[in-house]
């Protein structure tokens, strides 16, 4: 079973794996997820204001939480 992009993004964000998050940004088919990742990585690498970085990080996490709540849970049939 494939791990959804949201689970991967959450894992990479929480553990600070920015290179993997960048690869996910390019490969995902979810445009909003890609944009949220782009905004966070841009703020992380180029912003001098810590509040901007924290805000973009929180926005990414809020989006991931919202998107993961909207996904139907996979059910395994026996």
- DSSP tally for the chain: helices H, then strands E: 4, 0
pLDDT tens-digit map of 5-47: 999 999 999 999 999 999 999 999 999 999 999 999 999 999 9
Confidence band of 3 (pLDDT split at 50, 70, 90):
low
Range of the domain at 36: 5-70
**76 falls within a domain:** no
Question: CA-CA distance, 68 to 36, in Å (whole number)?
Answer: 15
What's the structural domain count of the chain? 1
**57 falls within a domain:** yes
The pTM of the whole model exceeds 0.75: yes
Question: In the block, which residue shows the tokens 């993961």?
Answer: 68
**30 falls within a domain:** yes
**78 falls within a domain:** no
**75 falls within a domain:** no
Question: CA-CA distance, 27 to 24, in Å (whole number)?
Answer: 5
Question: CA-CA distance, 16 to 44, in Å (whole number)?
Answer: 11
Confidence band of 69 (pLDDT split at 50, 70, 90):
confident
**27 falls within a domain:** yes
């Amino acid at each position: 079973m494939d791990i959804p992009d949201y689970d991967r993004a959450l894992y990479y964000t929480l553990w600070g794996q920015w290179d993997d998050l960048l690869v996910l940004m390019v490969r995902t088919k979810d445009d909003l997820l890609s944009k949220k990742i782009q905004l966070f990585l841009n703020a992380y690498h180029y912003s001098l204001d810590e509040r901007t970085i924290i805000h973009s990080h929180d926005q990414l996490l809020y989006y991931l939480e919202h998107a993961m709540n909207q996904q139907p849970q996979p059910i395994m049939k026996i």
